[in-house]
Structure 1
């Protein structure tokens, strides 16, 4: 395998991680106020969402490429879920910090 192919696969992996992190953030922002999830920490909901999304993405990729699913694919998807979770939760906190620095207040806007 040459360096160009490796670079291409790494790029695909980063794109997939970004998409999964965005979907995780989006889903968590929508479902975190549901009655059954209000008492659970948002980080736990985000980790569970990332785990489900990564396993589903792995299953879809295996179906698309007609590859048999093995146990280590599932383990790799769960490890990737932790990385996706870190990307998803860190991203929202940084955006919130930037928003807070603007000192925007709804009561002051007329």
Structure 2
């Protein structure tokens, strides 16, 4: 049971860190007005997640010497969609709270 708890904790940390990275990169890309007009934010988040999650997960597996199996690649794409959902909803909540708290 201890290994299960540790594994779940690592998965949650990975999703949180990846959601933060995806959100920061998305916000940086939205500063470019031509990019923000051409590409919807949700699409940007999904594409960044689909690129960064497999690269990071498989990169970590290679770094630690773990043999990369087919299910790891599949799991990285599932994690990418979870990261995209957390990233999209997370920024909306933060901006909503900021608008309520910071009145101009």
Residue 52 (str. 1) matches residue 23 (str. 2): no
Superposed CA RMSD = 1.6
In structure 1, the partner of 2:91 is: 92
Contact 1:47-1:82 within 8 A present in 2 as well:
yes
Contact 1:32-1:45 within 8 A present in 2 as well:
no
- Cα displacement (A) at 1:67: 2.5
In structure 1, the partner of 2:15 is: 17
In structure 1, the partner of 2:82 is: 83
Q: 2: distance between equivalents of 1:38 and 1:67?
A: 42
* Structure 1 runs of 4+ with >6 Å offset: none
SS of the residue corresponding to residue 28 of structure 1 reads helix
TM-score by length of 2: 0.88
- Cα displacement (A) at 1:37: 5.1
Contact 1:20-1:54 within 8 A present in 2 as well:
yes
Q: 2: distance between equivalents of 1:72 and 1:54?
A: 14
SS of the residue corresponding to residue 7 of structure 1 reads helix
TM-score by length of 1: 0.84
Matched residues, number: 103
Larger Cα Rg: Structure 1 or Structure 2? 1
SS of the residue corresponding to residue 38 of structure 1 reads helix
